[in-house]
A and B are shown apart, each in its own frame.
Chain A
Amino acid sequence: MNFEAVKSIYISEMARTRRTIMQSVISPVISTVLYFVVFGAAIGSRITEVDGVSYGAFIVPGLIMLSLMTQSLSNASFGIYFPRFTGTIFEVLSAPVSFFEITVAYVGAAATKSILVGLIILITANFFVDIEIQHPFWMAAFFILTAVTFALLGFIIGIWADNFEKLQFVPLLIVTPLAFLGGSFYSINMLPEIWQKVTLINPVVYLISGFRWSFYGQADVSLWLSLFATMLFLGGSLAIVHWIFKTGYRLKP
């Protein structure tokens, strides 16, 4: 195991975050504050409670999940796409580094960044509403699993994309709608019955539900189903990454 290489890529990726601190950390904080102003204060004041929790507090786990997913995705996809675009990826591919190590370094760095963003959002939210975390262990587990899973998904997108348009396509047109429709801002119990059923196709529902349960003990679906869906997602992403490296897809002709 080439630990120095993993460390070097990780450090180099984290240095990129420091250079782009505005875009990496501050902008998600600003957009979260905006969500609070719009959904929490303006619209939320007309909704009293959801499942026994004030609406402002109810949306916090959803907001964190939304940011965690989109940030993991964009950090990881950009992190691997940019060296491919500039050509500097040759250095990593010709170094004595295994594919496993490359994945750990890039995905690890992307997940770290989004976890930092998630924590900052949690702290920011704390200024607006009272937050309780009933199951801190599960909260941390869903937090990290989601960050890693979506960083892996982003890593796959970054390897698959051969232009900037494709790089934006999946996050904007698939993941963001799924996250919004996955109950970030509402409980699926609030939907008409037919849509409650349709919503269950959306994998993001399980992630948000599990995460929200770790905060307030309220969930749309059972905890184990949430955990199972998250692991399924993670396993699927790992299988695709394994296939990419086995075949050299888009990396080694």
Chain B
Amino acid sequence: MAPILSVRDLEKTYEGGFQALKSVSLDIQEGEVFALLGPNGAGKTTLISTICGLVRPTSGSIYVGGHDALKEYRAARQLIGLVPQEMPTAPFEIVGDTVALSRGLFGLRPDPARVESILKDLTLWEKRSNPIMALSGGMKRRLLVAKALAHEPKILFLDEPTAGVDVELRHDMWRIVGELKDRGVTIILTTHYIEEAEEMADRVGVINKGEIILVEEKAELMRKLGRKLLTLSLTEPISAIPGGLSGYQLTLENDGTCLTYTYDTHAERTGITSLLTDLSKEGVRFHDLQTDQSSLEDIFVGLVRQEQETS
């Protein structure tokens, strides 16, 4: 099946000479949820903005549903909805009117029933006659989603949809994305949260310094790179790791009060049982333990570091 979005050798150099995108190529399949990860300034927003027509590419091509995003910009943009990272809203505009405006911008005739159903889906119907400035931060974000959906796009871009929002709203956002995915909308989002990419994404791409350094099925990526950390708080500090434990990947921290063990969550044998047995054999006692899973962010920090070391 032809990808719904195809980016080929996309380059963007800003006027000041800063190269934000270096030969980016990316294919997005219809109906998938794609998570784009990268540190600040990696080019995530530039990539999204260029696809959406907010930034002019220096070279390369973008095809949306088979339409050239520059030459056939009307057909291409018709398929796209964008929820930007910052929450730009006109404070004095009325909620219902602003959704109707978004619909009109895409050349669609007014459809109050459609606007009503979108506002109800995003639990904003009660607020339809209020000015935007009367909305809470969470409502504003939902309103931006409502505006982006007003023209029934096939592809939805969510730039950091849950940056700085509370847990409830984050789950709300996940629910909305889930529903859209069920309806067949292709979703491309940028995020920093492991739960988010894990919960929603089918595929993950990592971008750093304007280059896509990895695109992988999420499950595959987690399997490849998922590490877990077991931290043991020792009852009594030890000066060195006992010789009988040399077979394990252990490090001693916090003046010998803390022992950490790294293991692969997806390996058949994690080695935890034998480690604990060997610990008691060596007479090392602990009063607490905790495990931490490496987040996608850790994974990608690892990747980025690897990049820097090899270059």
Contact = CB atoms under 8 A, between A and B. Distances in A.
Interface of A: 2-5, 7-9, 11-12, 15-16, 19, 82-83, 86-88, 90-97, 248, 252-253
A4 B105 CA distance: 7
Contacts of A248: 56
Q: Top 5 A-B pairs ranked by shortest CB distance?
A: A8-B104, A87-B88, A96-B74, A95-B105, A94-B52
Given A90-B84, A93-B53, A4 B109 contact: yes
B275 interface: no
Report which residue of B86, B101, B103, B109 has the largest number of chain A beta carbons within 10 angstroms of its beta carbon. Answer: B101
A252 B56 contact: yes
Given A91-B105, A93-B53, 19 more contacts: A2-B74, A3-B107, A4-B105, A4-B106, A4-B108, A5-B104, A5-B106, A12-B97, A12-B98, A15-B97, A88-B88, A91-B102, A94-B54, A95-B106, A96-B75, A96-B78, A96-B105, A97-B105, A248-B56
Contacts of B88: 86-88, 90
A12 B92 CA distance: 11
A39 to B, nearest CB: 35
9 contacts: A5-B105, A9-B101, A12-B93, A87-B88, A90-B54, A91-B82, A91-B105, A94-B54, A95-B105
Interface in B252-300: none
A90 B92 CA distance: 17
A23 to B, nearest CB: 12
B73 interface: yes
A90 B80 CA distance: 13
Given A91-B102, A252-B56, A253-B15, A4 B107 contact: yes
Contacts of A94: 52-54, 77, 80, 82
Specify the main secondary structure of chain A where it touches its partner. Answer: helix
A180 B160 CA distance: 51
Given A4-B104, A8-B100, A12-B97, A96 B73 contact: yes
A40 B261 CA distance: 91
A96 B77 contact: yes
A96 to B, nearest CB: 4
B63 to A, nearest CB: 16
B14 interface: yes
Contacts of A87: 84, 86, 88
Nearest to B80: A94
A32 B102 CA distance: 38
A94 B78 CA distance: 9
B92 A16 contact: yes
B84 to A, nearest CB: 6
B134 interface: no
Nearest to B78: A96
A4 B151 CA distance: 12
B87 to A, nearest CB: 8
B142 interface: no
B241 interface: no
B73 A252 contact: no
B89 interface: yes
Contacts of B192: none
A96 B107 CA distance: 8
A150 B71 CA distance: 32
Contacts of A2: 74, 107
B14 A253 contact: yes
Nearest to B109: A4
Nearest to A102: B105
Given A9-B101, A94-B80, A95-B105, A253 B56 contact: yes
A202 B53 CA distance: 41
Contact of A91 (B14, B94, B147): B147
A9 B105 CA distance: 7
B107 A88 contact: no
Contacts of B41: none
Given A5-B107, A8-B100, A96-B106, A86 B78 contact: no
B91 interface: yes
B90 interface: yes
Given A83-B90, A91-B147, A94-B80, A252 B101 contact: no
